[in-house]
Amino acid sequence: MVLASSGREVRGRTGSGGGRGERHHRLLPAGGVRRFAAGHVLREHLRGQFAAALHQRGDRVPRSRSRPPLPAHVRAGTRRSAAAAPDRAVQRLHRGLGPVRGAPRRRDGPVLRRHRPLRHARPGLHAGRPARGRHRAARAGLDPAAGGRLPGREHADGEDGDRGGDRPVRRESGPGAELPGGAAGNPARPRRGRAGAGRPVRHPRVPRRHPGQRNSPAVRIGHRRRRVDRRGVRVTWLDLPPDTLFGLDNLPYGVFSHGERTRRAGVAVGDQVLDLTAAAEGESFGRLLGAGVLNPLLAAGPDTWADVRARVREWLAEPRHADRIRPHLVPRTEITSHLPVEVADYVDFYSSEQHALNASRIFTGGDDLVPANWKYLPIGYHGRAGTVVASGTPVVRPAGQRKPRKASEPSFGAAKRLDFEAEVGFVVGVGSQLGAPVPIDEFPRHVFGVCLVNDWSARDLQGWESQPLGPFLGKSFATSVSPWLVPLAALEHARVPQPAQDPQPFEYLRAAESWSLDLTLEIRINGHLVSSPPFATQYWTGAQQLAHLTVNGASLRTGDLYASGTVTGPAKDQRGSLLELSWGGREPLAVGEETRAFLEDGDEVVISASAPGPGGARIGFGEVRGTVAAAVV
């Protein structure tokens, strides 16, 4: 029997007697031929002396599609001894071979025609020694049925050449693992009587069962190849720094203008912005990107969101698209960002337990008092969509009525206790029908993505007017949002278990999967970092807030924005507002060489955030910034 090294053909002789007969050819796939080589070694290992006896008689070794029978002690289920250890490795190889057609393509040496007599091993090479390494069965110990001799290999006269077709199965190096003639373990010892002596022995490779076992820059997913690096982070033909917050695993959407061009949809990648409106010309979704806002794209639904995201990834990952896409990339420092969506409705929640406790302690002098309903439902209020502004818009100090505690009468004027609140916003893509509550597990089908929110607050106005209906003019003068919407699809690695809730929420607030997100926010005043609130500590999640928002039958509309409420952690440097950082103004906060109880005219507040991504990378949300302008009274 001959297995041709071309990778395409299996040759053999048929007939009776001494093995002389008609030559025949059988075509196999290239991968199948290499798989056949490994299978042949396995059969020879199991047959042992039987194969040698056939060679001495001149008969060919019979071939069969059925597997050789297992040893008796394996069939009977008896306890294995040390001497039977190689059999287990053989079984592993046997299971690993699988069908011939499914073999991946690998490069192997040829297995040739004539059977080489078995050679004795040196003392110390014993059958009880288990094989180690990737190719276990090919390096297994001696076959007990072969009388302590190594299994041979088949080769043809004159067909060995430089490939060493007459080489025995390679064994691992180590004491007692060296074969006569330098066949393994010691390449310096020449093998006498053959060309190419001194080279280490090759053996047929055992195919890996899944591509994840090889550190390949591309991993096959379904019928596509996903280009990733060793960390699992997607790679691109763009020159991106390894620590970028805007890699191919993020790709947030926004609206921008550049030069004389009108507002366009864009995707942030690295320190550039892809002009998605221009790049998508001719695509089926291109008509959704020319409105100057993202609302048409958001209304198209999750299937379209996934298609657009996959297409953008392909453009930025495949070098064949580089020449077409490169002209549509604009440096982020040269653009003007705009509000990404036309906001339909705005709702703000009050979902941080630590923030609620801090506010109670500040206003009551130390009591841990929160509203009786706080742990039963996400408390919120309906804000003003018309004053939601883009990041960078100046915030004019509001004016209104205020009444300090010690004053006998209220007064009118500019707010003196102007504050910020660091929050996370959720943007609705697909609306809902009036009268139909949205189930909590439908959250990812309705919410498109996440942004950052600064819910500016005038504490003195808020304290006087909030009784009994809640915030009004103390909140509605301005709400700033970040320019980039990070899609929920980019936040799979940021999902974490939700904090325990006691008492247990009502059924409509119980989710099958947690949508608590591990975001880390950073707050800077005039360039100085003052706090780093963790979003994962929020008592109520965005999915629960959406379910409660619609449980009474209120409908959703494309572009609805709802915010989490102030994000505050347990530590002092994790507080999400100046009200808490300065403890109601009684403990002014150090900001560089100055102090602040509340914001002053000219102060700039910048809120940024990041979240975990694949392979230890980080996903960036950009920043929302605003500068306080003097009041107009």
Instruction: Give the residue numbers annotated as catalytic, written as ranges.
Output: 355
CA distance 617 to 234: 10
Q: Tally Cβ neighbours within 10 Å of residue 507.
A: 7
Structure token pair of residue 394: 């100046």
The Cβ-side half-sphere exposure at 201, using a 13 Å CA radius, reads 27
Burial class (CB in 10 A: 0-12, 13-18, 19+), 496: middle
For 95, phi then psi, to 5°, come to: -70, -35
Q: Which of 209, 135, 146 is nearest to 172 (CA)?
A: 135
The Cβ-side half-sphere exposure at 220, using a 13 Å CA radius, reads 8
Q: Which of 495, 513, 482 is nearest to 612 (CA)?
A: 495
Q: Which of 378, 368, 480, 382 is nearest to 422 (CA)?
A: 480
For residues 125 and 163, the answer to whether their CB atoms sit within 8 Å is: no
Alpha-helical (H) ranges within 281-368 are 295-299, 302-317, 322-325, 353-364
For residues 159 and 112, the answer to whether their CB atoms sit within 8 Å is: yes
Q: Tally Cβ neighbours within 10 Å of residue 281.
A: 11
For residues 592 and 599, the answer to whether their CB atoms sit within 8 Å is: no
**140-172 core/surface letters (b: 16 or more CB in 10 A; e: else):** bbbbeebeebbbbbbbbeebbeebbbbbbbbbe
Q: Which of 36, 40, 35, 34 is nearest to 152 (CA)?
A: 40
